[in-house]
Amino acid sequence: MKLISQIRFALLILLAWGCGRHELPYNDNSRDAELYAQNVRTLVLGLADTARSSGEPQVQINMIVKELGQDDRPVGQYRQIYSDLLATSRKILDRCPPGAARPDIRKELDELTSLARKLPAKT
């Protein structure tokens, strides 16, 4: 009887050990300027592409302005690029008031794309 109790106890321990939490360690990348730059590049390229074919490009451009307007992001060596991206995005928004006819903003979208490509790509 004692052997059965010991076996049950051993199985219970093995089961508990095997069902433990198995997750990757948490890495706080919120202060990593390189990762943030990669994410901004992806965001801007995607939204600029969508804005090209959108009937309301201000929706996509406004998302860029909101992200780059945050003052708690790790900018690192890319501060000037972010500043230029933000200025260009605001210029597009000024040219695209809600309810107005869609102006030709291809030049500004090309400029956004060109600036975003100065940021590092995801590896």
pLDDT in tens, the chain (123 residues): 677 777 776 666 666 666 656 666 767 667 899 999 999 999 999 999 999 998 889 999 999 999 999 999 999 999 999 999 999 999 999 988 777 777 889 999 999 999 999 999 987
Q: Virtual CA dihedral for 26, 23, 37, 43, nearest 10 degrees?
A: -130
State the pLDDT at residue 34.
Answer: 94
User: Is the distance from CB of 123 to CB of 102 less than 8 angstroms?
Assistant: no
Q: What is the DSSP letter of 78?
A: G
User: What does pTM read for this prediction?
Assistant: 0.76
